[in-house]
Each structure stands twice: as C-alpha cells, then as structure tokens.
Structure 1
Amino acid sequence: MLLKLFMIKSLSKAIEILEVLKKSPKGCSLFQIYTTLGIPKSTAHGILKTLMEKVYVLKDENTHFYRLGPALISLGKVASLELNIQNIAYLALEKLSLELGVDSFLMIPIGYKGTIIERVDGLQSVKIIENYGNEFYLHCGAMRKAILAYKEASFIEDYMKDIIEKNENTQISQSKLKQDLNKIKDEGVAVSYGEYAKGTIGIGAPIYNSSGKVIASLGINLLETKDLTDERVKELKKIVREKSAEVSKGMGYL
C-alpha cells in the first residue's frame, strides 16, 4: 500500500515537472524546478534523471537547463489524433502533393521551435529538407515563421532577446525578422528562399483552432527552377493559404 502511494506521488511530481518545463521554452534549472514545486532537490533530480533516461526530458550540458525532450513528440502525435488535426490536415496535404507534385507538411510549435508531425511526398521530393520530428527555431523557414508571426507580442519579444539577440550564428536581424512577420500577417502566408538548402523555396500558412489561435502550419517545399516565376509563387501562396483555411475550418475555426 505504501509503495503504491509512493509511486502515485512520484508520478504526480513527474507530471508537475513536465508542466513546469512546458511553460518555459528556454528551459529551467534544477533550482527553478524544485523551488517552483516546493519539493526536495533530491526528489526533483531523481525524477528528472528517470525522465531523461526515456528522453522525455533533455539537459543542456552547457547551461545545465532542462527542457522537454523528443520522446514526447510521439505521445503528442497520438494525442493530436484525438483532436483530428492530423486526420483533417492529411487530406489537405495529399491534395497539395497531388496537385503540385511537391512535398507537403504539417508542423506544430514546441516552445521556441517547430517540428514536423506529418509529411506527404510529391513527385518532386526534396528529401533533405524536412522529416518527421525535425526541430528548428521558429524563425527558420516559411512554415515556422507562419506560426511565429501569430504568437503573442510578449512571446515574440522574448524570442528576439533569447534567440535572435544572443545567438551569434543567427542569419537574420531583429528588424528584418519583424518585417517578415508583419508581412506574413498582412498576407496570411509566408515564403522563404534557401533557408534550409540553396535552391529551394518554402511556402507556409497558419492553421487556427476553434478559439482563433494559431496551433500549427501547413506548407510545401520545392526546388527553385526557371519556371518558378514570381507569378507562379503568387499562385502557390494562394493555394497553400486556401488549404490551410480548409484545415482551420475542419478544426472549428470560422
């Protein structure tokens, strides 16, 4: 009986730790975790160690901060099926890939990053671009920017400070990124050129839920060719925007 109560208590604390990390995109120190939850340091450390063994939590060896790990993606994928976003989006992805002959994707945000949770290959498949589970920062590529543009102002401000300002390898300035995000909100669709690989173009548009919140994005990656004129890109933007609107409608967004 005592063992059962101990296991239940430990499970409860593990869930609470995951909840704390969920609210902290840049991660948390061990001190922040055990003081926030009011539990002993040894208890927090032991639970984190177990979660790390299953890759539900990762630890940055430089900062010693903990953050949510990739093993949660598969759990989230199963859970999202219950919400029908992948079922609804998959049909739109199939239409995109069939109609345009290119790869199409469904992406969701995880903290400061975006990850692919569904993909449909086209005849002109660009295998090196995006695969299931890939995680990159939200300013990288059209599909991720299509999510970042609709984040709360406070989130974007923190993102600029934590990622753009502090990262010496960032290829974009804060002012340029702000311009890009404003343009995306004006047009309802994002376009990126060569941000993953030279000679490729990405196009992405946001997906809304029934509350009007952007919860994902839908998009395509294709090779840049001489036939891909500005007018053709304009047509593709319209098609991607329409497909994302279909998924949003399926999610209850009017």
Structure 2
Amino acid sequence: MERDKGTVRAVERALDILLCFSGTEMELGLSDIAKKVGLHKSTVHRLLASLESKGFIRRHPQTEKYRLGWSVLELVSNVYQSDDLASIVVPEMTHLRDEVGETISLYIRAGKERIRTQAVESNQPVRRVANIGQRFPLYIGASGKVLLAWADPLFVQEVMNDPNWPKELSKSDFKNKLAQTRENGYAISIEEREAGAAALAVPIFGRDNQIVAALSISGPVDRFTPEAVKRFIPAAQKTATLIGKMLTR
C-alpha cells in the first residue's frame, strides 16, 4: 500500500512538472521548475530524467534548460482528432469547402512532422483526396511552412539541422520563405509534394496568440489561378480566425 502511494505521488509530481509549461514560458531551468512545484532540485532532476527518457521533456544542450518533448505533441495530435474538436472545426471547414469548392484540411505539428487531423473533401470530380492521419515533413508544403513560420526559432533550427533535410532544398531560401509567410499571413505551395497539386495554408492561433494548427485549401494546380488564390486567401483567413476564437472559449 505504501509503495502504491509512493507511485501515485511520483506520478502527481511528474504531472505537476509538465504543467509548469502550460503558460507562456517555453523553457525553464531546474531551479525554476523546483520552485514552481515546491520540491527539492534533486527530486525534480530525477523526475525530469524519467520524463526525458519517455520523450515528454527535452533539454537544450547549450542552455541546459528544459522544454516539452515530442511525446506531448503526439498526445496533442490525438486530442485534436477528438469528437469535440471535430464538432467545432468540421462545420466551419465544410462552409469553407462550399465557398471555395476545394478540399479543406487541418494540420497540426507532431514532432518534426505535420499530421492531417481533419479533412473535408471537394465535391468536384477532379479533387485532392485527403486521408486523415497522414504525416508529412514540415519542410514540404504550404501547411508545413505555416506551422514553422510561427514556431519557436530553436525548433525551426532543429528541423533544418535534421539529417533528413533534403540536400537540394536551400536553407537560406527556406528561411526567406518562412519570413515571407509571416509577412503575408499565408503560404502557397505549387507541386512541392505532389505533381499537379497546389495548396494554400493559413495559421490558426489559440491562447496567447500561439499557433495551434494550419488550415489549408488544396486542389489541382490548374484551378489555383491568381484570381482563385486572391479569393481563397480572405476566405481561409476568416475561417481560421473563427476556429481560433472557438478554441479559446
């Protein structure tokens, strides 16, 4: 019984540590975390080591500060596929689909990938087929650029330093594209991931103006004319703003 109580107490303390990162602070030092949870640094260090081994916490090699790890993002991806979220976003995505006539998708970041968590397909005979749950690299496609454009700069650098980064993709050009995405408020991709396909994506912001997802319009490249894109941009941004407000209620 005492052992069980000790295990429960350790779990509670580990969860308290994770909740330290629920505010606006991206990184915390060992002393900061110990102060927040009211525990000795040695105890916090042991718990952080366990959380780090499971991928829920990661430590910056230079600053020695801690931040949330990829395992948390994997859990978040499941949350964003829940029925509750679907009841919020799918009606708005359907309305956008009916307005622009193309496939609408919702992407979130999970580690160094993006996952399509919701999709409403176009009713047109020739259309993009969007499979929910598909994963794609962040460095390819409009949604990937949007998710990186408003991400933490240290994370962006991690993605660009990944061994899987395509050699043919210029890092300096990619940084410029991210800057352009932030300036414009949207990103466009033409046949980046798939021949004959194009996409436009905009950010969805949650609490504290943090990006939580990317909303995209995709379809055959021949329908993404300059006139069509000019019409898609305000429609997508309006829908993204509505979804963002719903998520922060």
Q: How many residues align?
A: 218
CA distance, structure 2, for counterparts of residue 175 and residue 18 of structure 1: 35
Asked whether the 8 Å contact 2:202–2:214 carries over to 1, the reply is yes
CA distance, structure 1, for counterparts of residue 81 and residue 13 of structure 2: 23
CA distance, structure 2, for counterparts of residue 209 and residue 187 of structure 1: 19
1:131 aligned partner: 131
For residue 91 of structure 1, what is the amino acid of its counterpart? P
Asked whether the 8 Å contact 1:103–1:121 carries over to 2, the reply is yes
Could you tell me which of 232, 240, 244 is aligned with 1:236? 232
1:72 aligned partner: 75
- Distance of aligned partners of 1:228 and 1:206 in 2 relative to their CA distance in 1, 3 Å threshold: closer
2:177 aligned partner: 180
| Deviation string, structure 1 residues 121-157 (Cα, Å, up to 9, x no partner) | 1113322xx4222222222211121111011223223
Shift of 1:168: 5.4
Secondary structure of the 2:209 match is coil
For residue 218 of structure 1, what is the amino acid of its counterpart? L
Show the 5 A alignment for 1:25-104: 37-38=45-46, 68=71, 72=75, 75-77=78-80, 81=84, 85-104=85-104
2:8 aligned partner: 8
TM-score of the superposed pair, with normalisation by structure 2: 0.69
- Distance of aligned partners of 1:37 and 1:12 in 2 relative to their CA distance in 1, 3 Å threshold: farther
1:122 aligned partner: 122
Asked whether the 8 Å contact 2:73–2:109 carries over to 1, the reply is no
- Distance of aligned partners of 1:216 and 1:77 in 2 relative to their CA distance in 1, 3 Å threshold: closer
Secondary structure of the 2:139 match is coil
Q: Percent identity?
A: 22
Shift of 1:220: 1.5
Correspondence 1:201 to 2:201: no
In structure 2, stretches of 5+ residues that fail to align are: 20-25, 28-43, 57-68
| Deviation string, structure 1 residues 96-135 (Cα, Å, up to 9, x no partner) | 22222221111111232221211111113322xx422222
Shift of 1:250: 2.8
Shift of 1:72: 3.5
- Distance of aligned partners of 1:171 and 1:231 in 2 relative to their CA distance in 1, 3 Å threshold: farther
TM-score of the superposed pair, with normalisation by structure 1: 0.68
Larger mean CA deviation between 243-252 and 213-222 belongs to 243-252
User: What's the C-alpha RMSD, in Å, of the aligned pairs?
Assistant: 3.9
For residue 248 of structure 1, what is the amino acid of its counterpart? G
